[in-house]
Chain A
Amino acid sequence: MSGAALNIALVGNPNCGKTALFNQLTGARQKVANYAGVTVERKSGSFTAPSGRTVRVVDLPGAYSLKSVSPDERVTQAVLQGSYPGEAVPDLIVCVADATNLRLHLRFVLEVRRIGRPMVLALNMMDAAARRGIRIDVQALSQRLGMPVIETIAVRRGGAAALVGAIDTAEPAALGVSTVPADLHAEVRSILADTVVMPAPTDRRDDAIDRVALHPVLGVLLLALTMFLVFQAVYALGKPMTDAIADGFGALGGVVGEWLPEGPLRGLVTDGLLAGLGTVLGFLPQILVLFFFILLLEESGYLPRAAFVLDKLMVSVGLSGRSFIPLLSSFACAIPGIMGTRSITDPRDRLATILVAPLMTCSARLPVYALLIGAFIPHRAVLGVFNLQGLALFCLYVAGIAAAMFVAWVAKRIGRSRQERALLMELPSYRLPHWRDIALGLWERGAIFLKRLTGVMLALTVLMWAICTFPGAPADATRAAIDYSFAGMIGHTLQYVFAPLGFNWQISLSLIPAFAARETAVATLATVYAVGGEEGAALQSALAAHISLASALSLMVWFAFAPQCMSTLAIIRRETQSWRMVALSFGYMFVLAYAASFLTYRIAGWLA
């Protein structure tokens, strides 16, 4: 080893705590969750060891074997074998293993050992192992494996201190390839017999909960109830905070309006920035409440069970249970969801998942839904307990899921695929959420939202205000000034396309910036109505006064199915390496959204 930076790679089976360990070592905040397949690409960071040596750490996607079958596993294989472009061969491999499931994880340790690189085994989740009464003779295990074995608890502060010390002081030497036997399973059984005492193969509490959570009927009901309660909570907990922020921005607009001199700059600040961005910012609490519950479910270990329960349904429509986690990630944003499909081994399944992932309701659509629901759905109780607005939101999310299933089913029929693949998925132990991880997750989501608000949305709001304001009305104007602006011209032209869906020109205009970032539709509507003279009126009141219930429902349906933002299309291009798939994704979603909105508008108008 030289004085240069030490390159280490974290490898192991999925969900053994590699990324949690990576965060401990480097101080990074990469996403962690209690299910397999969270990390699908390599991440790197560095730290300075107590001796002053710089250690560069690469966190690799989890793999069950080095005979890789999925794209994410290929990354791990390539880095370990030194064939990943731009990535040096690691000086030291830190193989992470779940101490509660060594029967599975040791097989991979032995396989990695065959490479012959210097290795350290990090026995992670030692706290969980101790709780279950699992006793591991670390010294004996180290002797049998021929490498240092270090106990770690990646989710506890200081839980990786021993590993840091081992990395810092060790002068790792290459392992002898010949020492690894051919039959890995037999070798694992032999090692376990000599070094591990395990009272029971699974946790009794897990088994008891799984009797309900994995039940074919009760499991589905539990999942539906869980999701229903989450959306109820979004309204019950988030709405008061949303209203308070909207009131605050309204008051701020009044103060700033009086303070700024007369002129266009006052219009930009009050009608553009405060009205537009303030309205979008008001929906942050509801987004955070939704993510709080999603993070809670991720941490608990329930989500893989949900994937298991839904596997039969997913297979019947041409997807697989493996698609569940990427689709679930798409509720935050379609981009990580589409990237998450790298853990799907079958190219056909992967492609189908990529194509339907944008139909999952991403968090960017939540402000649009919340705005329209708040304006048009009365705030009243259903069955004495449930909130009608929360119920409407739940229905919109279900509509997105149902559309995804329908599209996958159609793709299966067109592709004439009859093959069904069994789902093999590791079910992690249930655990109480780590509040620090949840707080960090919420912080990250809040930061991402604010970054979008002060970046893309701010820029788009300035541009939308400018086209709403210029050119001004002529001296002999007979209509409102905004009708003569660029926005008015563009909006009235677009209305020819969208009038059959019940959209007025203001809504038609808002669909353009929404293609860059969904939430900007809200900011644009706020700006258009503010510039158009709806002084002092909240956006929800302005919408209620200008569009019908049928148009509002049609708009909600449009946002449920319409082609996603440009970034999603870009990531589809990157992951499929095909412009044809981008065109297919855009085309089918546009047709689906147009047809569904048209029907919604006509049926709602007829019923009204």
Chain B
Amino acid sequence: MSGAHGLWWQYLVIGALVAASLLFMLRKLAPALSWRGQAGLAAWLLRRRAAPWQALGRRLLPPAKAGGCGGGACDGCGDGGDALPPLEQKIQFHRRR
């Protein structure tokens, strides 16, 4: 039992690492969803009366724009995710006559 008690800090570290990894992957793979979640949490905190919660809510407010390719899981092209979308319109794929 004493061995199991001595391991609590290890489980704490592992729990924190797993939570951070989950959040990181969520931000990478579903950026829109994660920004929406963050915005929702920030809005909920901003509605609290206590000043510390409101301050935390302000800190959590997501930036106004998240464009580009979303900086996806790839990281292959160094896209910081701040590029404007391309000017071109939707590709029309017409059958040739």
Residues of A within 8 A of B (CB): 41, 71, 74-75, 78, 84-86, 261-265, 268, 332-333, 335-336, 339, 342, 347-348, 350-351, 362, 364, 415-419, 444, 448, 451-452, 455-456, 458-460, 462-463, 466, 516-517, 565-568, 570-571, 574-578
Task: Please name all residues of chain B whose beta carbon is closer than 8 Å to the beta carbon of A263 when the two chains form the complex.
Answer: 6-7, 10
Judged by a CB distance under 8 angstroms, whether B63 is at the interface is no
Judged by a CB distance under 8 angstroms, whether B59 is at the interface is no
Given contacts A41-B83, A333-B74, A448-B76, whether A577 and B24 have CB atoms under 8 Å apart is no
Q: Interface segment, B11-19, B37-45, B50-58?
A: B11-19
Complex contact B93–A570 (CB within 8 A) = no
Residues of B within 8 A of A (CB): 3, 6-7, 10-11, 13-14, 17-18, 20-22, 24-25, 28-29, 69-70, 72-79, 83-93, 95-96
Kindly identify which residue among B13, B86, B89 contacts A342, using a CB–CB cutoff of 8 Å: B86
Task: Please name all residues of chain B whose beta carbon is closer than 8 Å to the beta carbon of A456 when the two chains form the complex.
Answer: 24-25, 28, 73, 75
Given contacts A416-B96, A462-B21, A463-B22, whether A566 and B91 have CB atoms under 8 Å apart is no
Chief secondary structure at chain B's binding surface: loop
Task: Please name all residues of chain A whose beta carbon is closer than 8 Å to the beta carbon of B84 when the two chains form the complex.
Answer: 85-86
Given contacts A268-B17, A456-B25, A466-B18, whether A578 and B76 have CB atoms under 8 Å apart is no
CB distance from A511 to the nearest CB of B (A): 15
CB distance from A416 to the nearest CB of B (A): 7
CB distance from A602 to the nearest CB of B (A): 33
Kindly identify which residue among B24, B29, B92 contacts A347, using a CB–CB cutoff of 8 Å: B92
CB distance from B73 to the nearest CB of A (A): 5
Q: Would you give 28 A-B contacts (Cβ < 8 Å), ordered by A?
A: A71-B87, A71-B88, A75-B86, A86-B84, A263-B7, A265-B13, A333-B77, A335-B74, A335-B76, A350-B91, A419-B96, A448-B76, A452-B74, A452-B76, A459-B28, A460-B21, A462-B17, A463-B25, A466-B18, A516-B73, A565-B72, A565-B73, A567-B73, A567-B74, A570-B72, A575-B86, A577-B91, A578-B91
Task: Please name all residues of chain B whose beta carbon is closer than 8 Å to the beta carbon of A448 when the two chains form the complex.
Answer: 75-76, 78
Complex contact B90–A335 (CB within 8 A) = no
A337 CA / B89 CA spacing, docked (Å): 19
Kindly identify which residue among B24, B28, B72, B95 contacts A415, using a CB–CB cutoff of 8 Å: B95
Given contacts A333-B74, A335-B69, A448-B75, whether A74 and B14 have CB atoms under 8 Å apart is no
Kindly identify which residue among B3, B7, B25, B79 contacts A460, using a CB–CB cutoff of 8 Å: B25
Given contacts A332-B76, A335-B77, A347-B91, whether A415 and B96 have CB atoms under 8 Å apart is yes
A362 CA / B76 CA spacing, docked (Å): 10
Task: Please name all residues of chain A whose beta carbon is closer than 8 Å to the beta carbon of B21 when the two chains form the complex.
Answer: 458-460, 462-463
A263 CA / B13 CA spacing, docked (Å): 12
B7 and chain A: residue at smallest CB distance = A263
A566 CA / B6 CA spacing, docked (Å): 41
Task: Please name all residues of chain B whose beta carbon is closer than 8 Å to the beta carbon of A444 when the two chains form the complex.
Answer: 78
Kindly identify which residue among A71, A265, A417, A576 contacts B96, using a CB–CB cutoff of 8 Å: A417
Complex contact B69–A571 (CB within 8 A) = yes
Complex contact B87–A75 (CB within 8 A) = yes
Kindly identify which residue among A75, A567, A575 contacts B72, using a CB–CB cutoff of 8 Å: A567
CB distance from B80 to the nearest CB of A (A): 11
A455 CA / B17 CA spacing, docked (Å): 13
Task: Please name all residues of chain B whose beta carbon is closer than 8 Å to the beta carbon of A348 when the two chains form the complex.
Answer: 93
CB distance from A399 to the nearest CB of B (A): 22
CB distance from B41 to the nearest CB of A (A): 21
Among A332, A339, A567, A571, which residue has the most Cβ atoms of chain B within 10 A?
A567
A417 and chain B: residue at smallest CB distance = B96
Task: Please name all residues of chain B whose beta carbon is closer than 8 Å to the beta carbon of A339 when the two chains form the complex.
Answer: 77
CB distance from A37 to the nearest CB of B (A): 15
Kindly identify which residue among B7, B22, B85 contacts A574, using a CB–CB cutoff of 8 Å: B85
Task: Please name all residues of chain A whose beta carbon is closer than 8 Å to the beta carbon of B18 when the two chains form the complex.
Answer: 462-463, 466
CB distance from B3 to the nearest CB of A (A): 8
Task: Please name all residues of chain B whose beta carbon is closer than 8 Å to the beta carbon of A333 when the two chains form the complex.
Answer: 74, 76-77
B92 and chain A: residue at smallest CB distance = A347
A333 and chain B: residue at smallest CB distance = B76
A147 CA / B45 CA spacing, docked (Å): 59
A441 CA / B35 CA spacing, docked (Å): 33
